[in-house]
Structure 1
């Protein structure tokens, strides 16, 4: 089976879902004897527009920040980069879905993504990389669900935000 998958490409951005995808991708790369290609795609704040130009020092800082997020993801997801398999990290400027499908462009590639738990407003503005990749990739795509722990943490955050909103609304009503 290892001759069928030459590279395991994984989208990484530091969220719990992408950390789960990173762990999954490392396990598959080990099992298949494949090269792991962790990819972090980044865009300038506010997105990319055709006429907008940024000073080189800013784009360098944003690229450095993306690289740091990739290193942090390895630390948080695995305790550091795996030393027992070939790893070719990539930090690429552009929309995540397009970047990932451009890199995972070989028939023998496996593209691994975490499932997106972003809200509809975020998806409308930034798009949904898993959906984009499933539609446009020329290789096998695996979308890994978040772990139970990640789901529980998200539920706790949501409850906490809801409670803060209720307290703020109650205080505003008391002031009126």
Structure 2
């Protein structure tokens, strides 16, 4: 069975949700790269501390890691992963999800990484995830396509949400489609 799974893709492709469902079925520990990156008050950790956290996480023999980080982090992740799941969903799928999720988080005050919360004011700011996600979507897609074409690990590319459960079940990473669909909807 696969022991080191990387899940990559754009903002709100469903990386964390998929990782949680796979972790529940496989009993592999789940690590979200955003939780390693963000400090209090939406302050990124210094790069050396972030990379040290990533390295520590990836030295384990068993894990599921999700995130959308390039550079050294992507290099480390791709070298260590047995399986890379690329949620390569179009912007037309991700944008409505981004708006819904961001507004829901802001309204409910849901706590995220390091005690951070999205607020309506934050969503309207110049560095808002509502601007950042769409602005970087296509560039990240091109970057992942290039990186993954040279990966040694098995790469599973998911281009349609409707196929996700079927693909994960075929790999033995999810239980029956009925149970898996309930986890991912």
Which TM-score band (shorter chain)? 0.3 to 0.5
Scaled by the length of structure 2, the TM-score of the pair is 0.37
Bigger radius of gyration among the two: 1
Q: TM-score when scaled to structure 1?
A: 0.38
Flag the structure with higher helix content.
2
